[in-house]
Amino acid sequence: MLLAIDTSGPLCSAALLDGGILLERSDDIGRGHAEHLMGMLDDLLVEARAGWVDINRIACSTGPGSFTGLRVGLATARGLALALKCPCIGVTVFEAFAEEFGQGEPICVAMDARRDQIWMQNFADDSSAISEPSGITVMEAPNSPPKSTHRFAGSAAAMVTKLRDGAVILSDAPSPPVGAIARIAASKSADEQRPKPLYLRAPDAKPQVALV
């Protein structure tokens, strides 16, 4: 059984994938993922009539997203994987949106990074990446996807499609579908590297400067 976790945005989400059976839950909590996550995982296992010993693979969103949220999700996933002696697989927000909404056509995933910035990645019709994850300005966004791309997903999709005729917004959700994270992780080969957060912007916190 695979457990997938996503705390990259305002949603606190988890899914259990056992063969082709998927059980998932997403709570829109905004903040407080650290306090909410473990209780939600316990509830999900009870609903699935399963226990922690049934988990043999863990997946976690690696971002981009909230610095605090990502740390909570990744730390939980790594800790559980260590305790359960099972692989831990990282999946980006971009990959999850592309998996869910690509549907055999090119897709651009764009996330609102605030402060006049957008996080973006473009995918081909087979959901393979054709660009690296990047941070761009809102003004740059309409011209950044390939001209052949007309399908968009992510919280900044509307910002990207303003000047593009024929554009279709498939989802403007602030977080990716956690079920897509589970499906990707189930098909990925496990390696010994722990998943790392995908940061496309430096953290807000600055080191304090000692006053002389």
Alpha helices in 55-177 (DSSP H): 67-84, 93-101, 157-160
- Cβ contacts of residue 111 below 8 Å, gap of 6+? 64, 65, 93, 94, 118, 119, 120, 154, 155, 156
Specify the CATH number of the domain 94-171: 3.30.420.40
Give me the phi and psi of 21, to 5 degrees please.
-95, 125
E strand or H helix at 3? strand 2-6
Sequence ranges of the domains in the chain: 2-92+176-187, 94-171
Q: What does the radius of gyration of the chain's CA atoms come to, in whole angstroms?
A: 18
Which of 3, 54, 47, 7 is closest to 26 using CA atoms? 7
| Residue 204 DSSP label | S
Q: Do domains 2-92+176-187 and 94-171 have the same CATH topology?
A: yes
Provide the token pair at 158: 């509307």
**57-85 per-position pLDDT tens digit:** 999 999 999 999 999 999 999 999 999 99
Specify the residue for token string 């590297």.
Answer: 193
pLDDT at residue 179, as a whole number: 97
Under CATH, which architecture does the 2-92+176-187 domain have?
Answer: 2-Layer Sandwich (3.30)
Look up the pTM and report it: 0.91
Q: How far apart are CA 21 and CA 74, in angstroms?
A: 24
Q: Which residues of the chain have pLDDT under 50?
A: 205-212
**Predicted pLDDT at 139:** 92
**Strand partners for 151:** 168
Confidence at residue 192, expressed as pLDDT on a 0 to 100 scale: 61
The two tokens of residue 99 are 């998996």
Residue 211 pLDDT = 45
User: What is the pLDDT at residue 20?
Assistant: 85
pLDDT at 212: 42
